[in-house]
Chain A
Amino acid sequence: MIADYNFIHVVPPMSAHDFVKQSALIAQDGPFRGEWLDVDIYTMQHNRYPEVFGIGDVIGAPINKTAASVKAQAPVVEANLLAVMQGNPLTARHNGYTSCPLITGIGKAMLVEFGYEDNFAFMPSFPFIDPTDESWVTWVMKDRMLQPAYYAVLEGRA
């Protein structure tokens, strides 16, 4: 296949872990069938097993394979898990927030933040950062600042 492009973002094949794919928790139909955990993308609750919740890369969601999403999903899962355990209705909802610092060259990047609403409309955290602008500050954040935070999350320090 040959196609013209101005900007290309190559996403390798990916799916949930095999032990999830081989379990009954996997999506049985829809776009995530056989590949991802079957959850409500707003409440994070499993669509067929209400005592099961999903978070992070494993869930079947149209976006959200980012650390920013996991950070936004964690309080939703916590609140709704407690609600289920206490027999209360689920009130916490994930708005799909995700953040993608896109490197557009060595020394510049774009901070693209968006969510589920309005067909994945931009959700800029700071009004003074335009998600469509290439920026040096965004590059500094991506290149120098985020990696230590990623490792802190992986090591359970953040």
Chain B
Amino acid sequence: MGERIPVTDVPVGASVRVVEVLGGHGMRSRLHSIGIRPGIVVTKVSGFPGHGPVVLQVGGTQTALGFGVCSRIIGEATL
């Protein structure tokens, strides 16, 4: 098992497998519906300094997320 880190801490260009999405039901289901859920691989395309937004590649789509939302997505390094 790899190390569990919030996706905000993942370096740009790296991919992680999502293991958990923290937060309430509303937030989880919003993230679910855009394809972010445990088991899938996300790649960090871009991250803005100073707790700025993060852009993730999820399947064929890119999604921009606020820092707070993104820090609740917990990933684990893929091999």
A and B are interacting partners = no
Q: Which residues of B contact A (CB under 8 A)?
A: none
